[in-house]
Amino acid sequence: MRLELGNIYINDVKLSDTTKVENGVLYVNKEEMLKEIGGDEHIKSIDLELAHPGEEVRITPVKDVIEPRVKVEGPGGIFPGVLSKVDTVGSGRTHALKNVAVVTAGKIVGFQEGIIDMTGPGADYTPFSKTHNVVVLIEPVEGLKQHEHEAALRMIGFKAAAYLGKVAKDLTPDEVKVYETEPLFESVKKYPDLPKVGYVYMLQTQGLLHDTYVYGVDAKKIVPTILYPTEIMDGAIVSGNCVSACDKNPTYVHLNNGIIEDLFEKHGKEINFVGVIITNENVYLADKERSSNWTAKLCKYLSLDGVIVSQEGFGNPDTDLIMNCKKIENEGVKTVIVTDEYAGRDGASQSLADADPKADAVVTNGNANETIVLPPMKRVIGTTEFVDVIAGGFDGSLRPDGSIEVEIQAITGATNETGYVTLSSKGY
Amino acid sequence: MKAIIITNNPMVLEEYNSIYEVDFIEDSLMAVLLKTRDKIHEGHLLLSHPLSGSVKPNETIYKSVIFSKDKGKLDMDSLYIIESSIETARKFINTKKPPTWSNKTLVDFQEIDYTLITSGIESMTQFK
């Protein structure tokens, strides 16, 4: 499967009477966009606000972040099974608007989290302070149940990204990257001397505000299966996960997964990157056993030499991570696990809720319990009403001057476990 | 499978009391975890993960855990999971205790815990 990904670099976003891209500027017709993404009976009103890198703006509580993309050639459309038919995507050509993100924000439940600061010390911790953000704010109808609210907000986010992505269809990209995964036997024949490496992609799947969808299927209902990496670049995996802001995978991260990018970078040179095994992180222990048995079985069946395993979230998924690692290693396949840590504010406590001697190659993306003071911002998009009660906040988090003292777990993407972050630790 | 639910969540009690044996305790999240450990020592098999959900154990005050009704020999895997879970929850709670929540937020937490445990029950009952 071969995908050409055409990147169009955007250096500003402005409101206008026509939605278009000109000289690297994305112009957005707000009225037209609201009309296109609105219409949900559960939603009273929708509004859009823009936030640019370097501005004194705080966006919170953030739900999802999505990159605008459009399918230009080849089967299917962006977000198959969700916005488009369930055609198998990942081949042909796709265009992406780079440096732009749709950010959905809003209060679904009384405790909330997810902060994006566009400047200041907090901005260093989130990749989404570097994107021009089109923030979608929704007001639900009175009495709307939490799951219906979450579903409505999720869909509006995807529609917003698809609406903006459409303008990229007829543009000439600034660069075109080609990603190709050959059928397994052909690939092994082509690179007989390179180690065969796979990626075990763990998806958050526990219930309300903790879900992920694959081609529109609730991923807690899947058994582990194989995807071409480029299917994921076309939106085969989308996020419905709103909890644990620092280490959840927003849809943007699924589309731009850094592990997939890096494995492609080394493909055909140092390794033979043969594909992605997706698996879930369920509540029921027998599901964990079954899914980890299957990831190990698939790794063995594919005769892999090594895999990278990435986690999403905290606590319960630590058990899935270690089960995957142990069982895959027991099949004779080497593993590197990618996670983050909750090691206490001083970093001295046990990092994960599970461990095993076989997990001897670990990449961390930072300690989510580290605290930070976020200075006041001139403008807040959303509300800071809940900052005392977000993950990692504490009584008095929101100070009278508008500054906030929180653990970095409150910052969207701060310790993302696919490495879409700047934090890490190195041993010397 | 015949199951027992230990919970301090009134919504779980209300929704599942007529279907399962629900051991409702009016106490903290940590008390539910400690009771879970007792049940494991009695020989019950742990069926759901005690750290279900990404809401941290010093944010939510609710917890529900599923067990087998049948008892057998002490299951070391269950014991290992609950001991690690208690250690992790203590780490969070010792850093910062849960704040005093509004009633609306408490209901939201109940709803989250209820949907988490329901996803476990759906897995458990999909092939009776």
Looking at per-residue confidence, does B101 or A387 come out higher? B101
* Residues B95-118 pLDDT 10s: 888 878 888 889 999 999 999 999
| Cβ(A106)–Cβ(A44) below 8 Å | no
DSSP state of B27: S
Which of B47, B48, B85 lies nearest to residue A353, judging by beta carbons?
B85
The answer to the question of residue A422 being in a domain is no
Residue in chain A lying closest to B49 (CA): A283
**Chain centroid to CA B77:** 17
Domain membership flag for residue A367: yes
Of all residues in chain A, the percent with pLDDT exceeding 70 is 96
The residue range of the domain holding B33 is 3-125
- Residues of A known to be catalytic: 242
Residues 6+ apart with CB under 8 A from B98: B58, B59, B60, B61
- Inter-residue contact A276 to A201 (CB < 8 Å): yes
Determine contact, residues A373/A405, Cβ cutoff 8 Å.
yes
Which residues fall within 8 angstroms of residue A270, CB to CB, at 6 or more apart? A194
Structure tokens at A387: 């900052």
**Total number of domains constituting chain B:** 1
Tokens of A118: 């566009």
The backbone torsions φ and ψ at residue A59, rounded to the nearest 5 degrees and listed phi first, read -110, 125
Give the pLDDT of residue A402.
Answer: 78
**Is residue A19 within 8 Å of A164, Cβ to Cβ?**
yes
What ipTM is given for this predicted complex?
Answer: 0.94
Cβ within 8 Å, pair A204-B96: no
> What is the C-alpha to C-alpha distance for residues A233 and A110, in angstroms, rounded to an integer?
33
Q: Which pLDDT score is estimated for B104?
A: 85
A interface with B, Cβ–Cβ < 8 A, is 109-111, 146-147, 204, 206-210, 220, 241, 243-244, 248, 282-288, 313-316, 318-319, 342, 344-345, 349-350, 353-354, 369, 388-389, 391-392, 394-395, 409
Residue A424 lies in a domain: no
CA pair distance A56, A403, nearest whole angstrom: 12
Q: What is the mean pLDDT of chain A?
A: 93
Residues with Cβ within 8 Å of A92's Cβ and at least 6 positions away in sequence, in order, are: A3, A4, A71, A72, A73, A74, A75
Query: Distance between terminal CA atoms of chain B?
Result: 7
What are the CA-CA distances from residue B42 to residues A316, B1, B35, B39 (Å)? 23, 18, 11, 5
Q: Rounded to 5, what percent of chain B is helix, strand, coil?
A: 50, 15, 35
| Cβ pairs A/B, distance under 8 A | 132
Q: What would the two tokens of residue A166 be?
A: 């459409």
pLDDT mean over A343-353: 88
* Tens of pLDDT, residues B31-66: 999 999 999 999 999 999 999 998 889 889 999 999
pLDDT tens figures, A70-93? 999 999 999 999 999 999 999 999
Say what the pLDDT of residue A395 is. Answer: 59
Decide if A427 is inside a domain. no
**Window 29-88 of B, Cβ < 8 Å to A:** 46-49, 51-57, 59, 66, 81, 84-85, 87-88
- Chain segment A187-238, per-residue pLDDT in tens: 999 999 999 999 999 999 998 889 999 999 999 999 999 999 999 999 999 9
| Chain A residues inside the 8 Å CB shell of B54 | 204, 206, 210, 241, 243-244, 248, 313-315
Give domain status of residue A115, yes or no.
yes
Question: Residue A357: pLDDT band by 50, 70, 90 thresholds?
Answer: very high
* Residue A168 pLDDT class (50, 70, 90 cuts): very high
Residue A428 within any structural domain of the chain: no
Beta-carbon contacts of residue A365 (< 8 Å; ≥ 6 apart): A247, A338, A339, A340, A415, A416, A417, A419, A421, A423, A424
Find the closest chain B residue to A352 by CA distance.
Answer: B88
Question: What pLDDT does A396 receive?
Answer: 59
Residue A22's domain comprises 2-410
pLDDT by residue (tens digit) across A32-67? 999 999 988 889 999 999 999 999 999 999 999 999
In this predicted structure, the answer to whether residue A391 has a pLDDT above a threshold of 60 is no
Q: Residues A250-259: what's their mean pLDDT?
A: 97
Whether A324 is covered by a domain: the verdict is yes
**Does some domain include residue A207?**
yes
Task: Give the total number of structural domains in chain A.
Answer: 1
In chain A, residues with a C-beta closer than 8 Å to the C-beta of B102 are 110
Q: Residue B29 phi/psi, 5° resolution?
A: -60, -40
Q: Which of A180, A195, A182, A185 is nearest to A270 (CA)?
A: A195
